């Protein structure tokens, strides 16, 4: 099945939209081939502001209707305690909210941007999507991450080379309680490094320490602005360290 054939089969769809590479291409394709589409972005403590701005920009560029749904992820049962399957509970809450809004708007089909490269066996959140009857056209059509980036580039989408971005909660170790303060510290630290030109990195929280994970080619850049980084990040952490294993993906 091609993506065009999918939308001929499902001409009226709601899309859970994150502003990332996959859901951006899915929304673009839906605007090309579906008869009616609406995007839903859930804004919670787990998403930094730039993700919402990217979602707004992309929706505007492809001419899609976007509805933003405020939601407190920390109020979803089972989330703030941060168990190993936290993503399952989080997806249940987020997609439950999207389903409610989509049905209010007259939609009976909800899609997400899971692609054929995503490992279902390693993602508790996929179980929630299956239970909620959320369909994943990119996966169903066999489109891999690399193919989606190439198709996005051909379509002129600014998201084509956007680095993968997991939610802020992933920076906090499993079993450690998630709080608004920890999430805010993570967003501030990563926002600062981003402003310096760093890309595709993480600032993990290890107790009161910030553990910076970079690709090896960015280490030298970090060392050149070491003092500035220390000064800024110590507003939120007691100490700052670099992960010598480097970031691979």
- pLDDT at residue 5 greater than cutoff 70: yes
Residue 172 lies in a domain: no
Residue 168 lies in a domain: no
pLDDT value, residue 6: 97
- Host domain of residue 196: 179-242
* Domain boundary, last residue among 103, 128, 161: 161
Same domain, 152 and 123: yes
- pLDDT at residue 120 greater than cutoff 90: no
- pLDDT at residue 122 greater than cutoff 80: no
Same domain, 225 and 128: no
Helix (H) / strand (E) element for 233: namely: helix 226-233
For the chain, the straight-line distance linking the first and the last C-alpha, in angstroms and rounded, comes to 29
Same domain, 39 and 149: yes
- pLDDT at residue 126 greater than cutoff 90: no
**Tokens for 110?**
């909800």
Residue 122 lies in a domain: yes
Same domain, 188 and 154: no
Residue 192 sits in a domain whose CATH number is: 3.30.70
Nearest residue to 148 via CA among 139, 248, 190: 139
Residues 211-249 have pLDDT tens digits of 999 998 999 999 999 999 999 999 999 999 999 886 655
pLDDT value, residue 123: 72
Q: How far is CA 53 from CA 4, 41, 56, 82, in A?
A: 28, 11, 5, 27
Q: Give the count of domains, the chain.
A: 2
């Amino acid at each position: 099945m091609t993506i065009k054939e999918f939308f001929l089969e499902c001409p009226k769809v709601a899309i859970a939209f994150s502003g990332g590479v996959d859901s951006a291409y899915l929304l673009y394709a839906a605007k090309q081939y579906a008869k009616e589409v609406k995007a839903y972005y859930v804004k919670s403590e787990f998403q930094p502001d730039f993700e919402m701005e990217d979602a707004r920009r992309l929706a505007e560029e492809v001419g899609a209707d976007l509805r933003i749904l405020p939601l407190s992820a920390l109020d979803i049962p089972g989330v703030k305690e941060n168990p190993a399957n936290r993503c399952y509970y989080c997806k249940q809450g987020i997609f439950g909210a999207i389903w409610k809004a989509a049905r209010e708007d007259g939609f009976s089909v909800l899609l997400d941007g899971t692609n054929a490269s995503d490992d279902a066996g390693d993602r508790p959140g996929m179980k929630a999507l299956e239970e909620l009857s959320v369909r994943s056209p990119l996966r169903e059509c066999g489109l891999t991450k690399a193919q989606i980036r190439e198709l996005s580039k051909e379509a002129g989408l600014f998201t084509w080379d956007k680095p993968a971005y997991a939610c802020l909660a992933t920076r906090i170790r499993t079993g450690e309680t998630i709080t608004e303060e920890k999430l805010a510290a993570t967003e501030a630290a990563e926002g600062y490094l981003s402003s310096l030109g760093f890309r595709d990195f993480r600032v993990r929280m290890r107790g009161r320490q910030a553990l910076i994970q970079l690709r090896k080619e960015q280490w030298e850049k970090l060392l050149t602005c070491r003092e500035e980084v220390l000064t800024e990040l110590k507003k939120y952490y007691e100490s700052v360290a670099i992960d010598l294993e480097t970031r691979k993906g």
